[in-house]
Amino acid sequence: MSTYVYGITRRSHPALPEKADGIGEPPRPVRVLTHGELAALVSDAPEDLRPKRRDLLAHQGVLAEAGSAGTVLPLRFGGVSPDDDAVLAVLRERESHYLERLRALDGKVEYNVKAVHDEEAVLHQVLIDNPELRALSQESRSAGGGSYEQKLALGERVAAAVRAREAHDSVLVQEALQEAAADCRPAPDTGRLANLSFLVERDRAEEFTAAVDAFRKEHGHLVVQLNGPLPPYSFVE
């Protein structure tokens, strides 16, 4: 039977969640495979594995339980190996690499920050920042909108100003928050202005979330979503 892998940690990790409910219906019990200084949290893999809500939550739950007691290198949902021996072979071959990553991630968690523009608010901000464009907009309104060509020209200038603001703000999010984090990496592109993963020391978590709150208040034309603390998915290489 195939082996499902949740994450990798140290063999000395306290309170590994062995026998906890894993993925599958009925839930497969979690097992611990060890080699050298490493341990892998695994269970039997169901043949019809799909990203169902119940299984996603079970995957996260195993990692959350293990992560509450120490550092774990999390695998994203769907990590399946042919069997236990294949998992042990990877632990053996990459032991030094995994131990280095565990040391690098000790005492740290991940926060994900997504940001998009509030369309109405960013248009207002663009006009505040650009006196010439604001004057043209006011003239257009006073003239009842102007001709079709004038409307088109004004719309193109406003759209260009919004694009420039997007480029500016995508950098601004990272610059404003990275001082409270140990590392930052772009998350997969989701069409948002910013989608960033921050690696944060556990004892600086309140400082980081406070920085996000302050950023929201200062930049009201941005809608900022914070998710975390999470296992450090984006920082496991």
Give the model's pLDDT for residue 151: 62
> Using CB atoms within 10 A of its CB, is residue 66 exposed (0-12), middle (13-18) or buried (19+)?
buried
Q: Give the separation between CA 38 and CA 102, rounded to whole angstroms.
A: 10
Nearest to 177 by CA among 216, 230, 119: 216
Give the model's pLDDT for residue 190: 66
Contacts of 51 (CB under 8 A, 6+ apart): 77, 78
Give the model's pLDDT for residue 156: 74
Instruction: Give the helix ranges, DSSP H, for 95-204.
Output: 95-105, 119-129, 131-142, 148-177
Nearest to 129 by CA among 153, 156, 164, 176: 164
Residue 114: both structure tokens together: 């997504």
CB 7 within 8 A of CB 105: no
- Which residues of the chain register pLDDT less than 70? 122, 124, 131-155, 189-191
